[in-house]
Chains A and B, each alone.
Chain A
Amino acid sequence: MTAAVSPVRGKRLGGRSSGLRGYYWLMLALLYLPIVLLFIFSVNSNTTLSFPLKGLTIAWYTKLFATPNLLAAVGRSVVVALGASLIATVLGTMIALLLSRFDFRGKGLLTSMAILPLLVPYFVLAVALLILFRAIGVPLGLPTIAIGHAVIALPYTTLIVLARLIGFDRQLEDASMDLGASYPATLRLVIIPIAAPAIASAFITAFTVSFDEFALALFLAGKDPTFPVYLYGQLRFATTLPVLIATAVLLMAGSLTLILAANRIRQR
């Protein structure tokens, strides 16, 4: 009669999906186009980013590992991003739970505060945090950057977890409590596991936001630059660009591998 009935697992609805599938692959191709370009220039022996291409080389990749400043900057970015994502995800989940499960007077205020970092340009927040840290005597360094990044990632984590928590069947929670579980236990055993994909998604989003952010990292860094700050500084020198691009390509390839592996493990 009408469209085929969908199998329960995998949510594959019938109907015209070839158009949508084609759209997905088209968008993917467009999204990857700049990446492909970057990759091409990372193996191009020309030091300037212009066509025509000269020979192929992997010299930039070997040079990358011979530049301690660059490697240190990448390492710092990872550390900061991990810390910031952890804070932002935990806090974001907390706020999302508060907003979706409780009714209290300051609800609108809390929502606004959680979304507020989106309204503030990063370097404005950076200067503001700089003043704050100076005022309370906190030395600048990786922890201060992590705090700044946690603040800007918070709206994303909150919204992502909130979108999942809203309207998911509260009967499960009620059932759990009826069966004698305390609320913390219900949280731990029922709500969090159900929200886990969103929490993971929030963590990854926060990590991405932090890893690549440079306005806050610039102002709050003190002595040690993170990768984007280092990159921005090196943009002055055209000759270092290929090495930086090689770094970025490697980072992307590395994270792709990591995530794919994690996905494979998860599916086992």
Chain B
Amino acid sequence: MTAAADRLDPGAGRSSDPRRGTFFLLSIPAVVGLALFLILPILFMVALSFRADLNGTLLAPFDPTLKQYDKLFATGSYWNLLGISTLIAFGVATIATLLAYPLAYFLAFRAGTRAGLYLILLLVPFWTSYLLRVMAWKLMLGEAGVINSVLLATGLIQHPLEALLYNRFSVVVTLVYVWIPFAMLPILAAMGRIDTRLHEAAADLYASPWQQLRRITLPLSLPGVIAAFFMVFIPTVGEYVTPLLVGGTGGTMYGNIVQAFFVQAANWPLGAALSVIMLLATLVLVIIGIRIVQPRRLLGQ
């Protein structure tokens, strides 16, 4: 039923399509906006990466040079860090998506009329400042923090655990915590359009809830899951605030390095070159991901 309706009319968008006027009305602001405020600045950034230094005014013409890229390729630790950051992002995205899925399921199918309220309750912490929430995690994970205090009080440990904070572990925990509600939203949206009559029909045919999950819910919510994964994975590769606050010296991520060149070192060209590399790397990962996942097949087009 819906699958057939999903396929677009072959004439959609062509000159014979009566919706042509609307098409232009919709597309022009979007394209112009994106071109002007996204593509153009990124091109400026790429151009900046070919600049030797920041001498002279910002917009002055300059002789392009590969100096920044030479420096990049000569520094193995940056590439290493890029790989590690990608792995961390992958881990965070996977965990967040896994943890978010049951939440979305609950809200979509079990919460009943209260679903809206429950959703709001979940989202509200995210109107608290991100910086302060991360700082709160410092209070939880620190040596004198909540977790250690509880563990010490119950006698489970004798000395406070030092390994909870200022390392990769704290970065992952904090990031997962931050991303779960965001990961839940696309999954919820996808589940929202699953027709529950499918579940009823399956139940009438003696399918157990697990079978319903596996055969109906999971496949139909998969676009949402994919969207959630990428929505978390991609920005996390370039994440820097959380590693800065709770990562200590061992939890540095690639984003910290890029940020350092803009904010600590005033070396924008090198920072730009690092950003270009990160953009390319993420692009490659996304392309690989899309190949694997084949959303066209999922979306029925």
Bound Cα distance from A206 to B181, whole angstroms = 14
Which of the candidate stretches B61-69, B73-81, B161-169, B195-203 sits at the interface with the other chain?
B195-203
Q: Tell me whether A221 is interfacial, beta carbon within 8 Å.
A: no
Q: Which of A9, A30, A31, A263 has the most CB of B within 10 A?
A: A31
CB within 8 Å for A252 and B124 given contacts A50-B144, A124-B258, A163-B227: yes
* Closest Cβ neighbor of A163 among chain B residues: B189
Q: Which of B86-117 contact A (CB under 8 A)?
A: 99, 102-103, 105-113, 115-117
* Closest Cβ neighbor of B263 among chain A residues: A123
Bound Cα distance from A124 to B261, whole angstroms = 11
Contacts of A46 in B (CB 8 A): none
Q: Tell me whether A5 is interfacial, beta carbon within 8 Å.
A: yes
Q: Which of B3, B22, B128, B234 contacts A35 (CB 8 A)?
A: B128
Q: How many residues of B sit at the interface, in one of the four size bands? A: 35 or more
Question: Are B22 and A129 in contact (CB-based, < 8 A)?
Answer: no
* Closest Cβ neighbor of A247 among chain B residues: B129
CB distance from B223 to the nearest CB of A (A): 7
Question: Are A124 and B45 in contact (CB-based, < 8 A)?
Answer: yes
Question: Are B13 and A23 in contact (CB-based, < 8 A)?
Answer: no
* Closest Cβ neighbor of A125 among chain B residues: B41
Question: Are B185 and A49 in contact (CB-based, < 8 A)?
Answer: no
Q: Which of A1-50 contact B (CB under 8 A)?
A: 1-3, 5-6, 8-17, 20-21, 23-24, 27-28, 30-35, 37-38, 41, 49-50
Q: Tell me whether B122 is interfacial, beta carbon within 8 Å.
A: yes
Q: Which of B39, B99, B140 contacts A34 (CB 8 A)?
A: B140
Question: Are A6 and B199 in contact (CB-based, < 8 A)?
Answer: yes
Bound Cα distance from A27 to B100, whole angstroms = 9
Bound Cα distance from A244 to B271, whole angstroms = 31
- Contact digits for A72-101, partner B, Cβ 8 Å, 1 yes 0 no: 000000000000000100110011011001
* Closest Cβ neighbor of A116 among chain B residues: B38
Q: Tell me whether B299 is interfacial, beta carbon within 8 Å.
A: yes
Contacts of A177 in B (CB 8 A): 18
Contacts of A148 in B (CB 8 A): 37
Question: Are A2 and B204 in contact (CB-based, < 8 A)?
Answer: yes
Q: How many residues of A sit at the interface, in one of the four size bands? A: 35 or more
Contacts of A141 in B (CB 8 A): none
Q: Which of B139, B223, B283 has the most CB of A within 10 A?
A: B139
CB within 8 Å for A31 and B180 given contacts A119-B279, A131-B59: yes
Q: Which of A9, A23, A123, A182 contacts B259 (CB 8 A)?
A: A123
CB distance from A67 to the nearest CB of B (A): 16
Bound Cα distance from A6 to B44, whole angstroms = 56
Bound Cα distance from A255 to B121, whole angstroms = 11
CB distance from B228 to the nearest CB of A (A): 9
Question: Are B109 and A16 in contact (CB-based, < 8 A)?
Answer: no
Bound Cα distance from A128 to B300, whole angstroms = 37
Bound Cα distance from A62 to B131, whole angstroms = 22
Bound Cα distance from A115 to B231, whole angstroms = 9
Question: Are B34 and A232 in contact (CB-based, < 8 A)?
Answer: no
Q: Which of A96-148 contact B (CB under 8 A)?
A: 97-98, 101-104, 110, 113-121, 123-125, 127-129, 131-132, 134-135, 147-148
Bound Cα distance from A121 to B281, whole angstroms = 13
CB distance from B26 to the nearest CB of A (A): 5
Q: Which of A254-268 contact B (CB under 8 A)?
A: 255-256, 259-260, 263, 266-267
Bound Cα distance from A245 to B5, whole angstroms = 51
CB distance from A80 to the nearest CB of B (A): 15
Question: Are B185 and A17 in contact (CB-based, < 8 A)?
Answer: no
Contacts of A198 in B (CB 8 A): 189
Contacts of A201 in B (CB 8 A): 185, 189
Bound Cα distance from A27 to B119, whole angstroms = 12
Q: Which of B1-32 contact A (CB under 8 A)?
A: 1-3, 5-6, 8-10, 12-13, 17-19, 21-23, 26-27, 29-31
- Contact digits for B131-157, partner A, Cβ 8 Å, 1 yes 0 no: 111011101100011100100000000
Question: Are B124 and A256 in contact (CB-based, < 8 A)?
Answer: yes
Contacts of B3 in A (CB 8 A): 167
Bound Cα distance from A122 to B203, whole angstroms = 47
Bound Cα distance from A5 to B231, whole angstroms = 35
Q: Which of A187, A251, A263 contacts B22 (CB 8 A)?
A: A187
22 contacts between A and B (CB under 8 A): A2-B206, A5-B203, A11-B196, A12-B110, A13-B196, A15-B209, A17-B106, A24-B107, A31-B181, A34-B125, A49-B139, A94-B26, A102-B8, A131-B48, A132-B37, A151-B34, A159-B227, A164-B192, A166-B299, A208-B123, A251-B127, A259-B120
Question: Which B residues contact A (CB, under 8 angstroms)?
Answer: 1-3, 5-6, 8-10, 12-13, 17-19, 21-23, 26-27, 29-31, 33-34, 37-42, 44-45, 48, 58-59, 99, 102-103, 105-113, 115-118, 120-133, 135-137, 139-140, 144-146, 149, 177, 180-182, 185-186, 189-190, 192-193, 196, 199-200, 203-204, 206-209, 223-224, 227, 230-231, 234-235, 238, 240, 255, 258-259, 262-263, 268, 271-272, 275, 278-279, 282-283, 286, 299-300
* Other contacts beyond A23-B102, A124-B272, A231-B132: 8, CB < 8 A: A2-B207, A24-B107, A24-B118, A101-B12, A121-B278, A148-B37, A154-B34, A211-B127
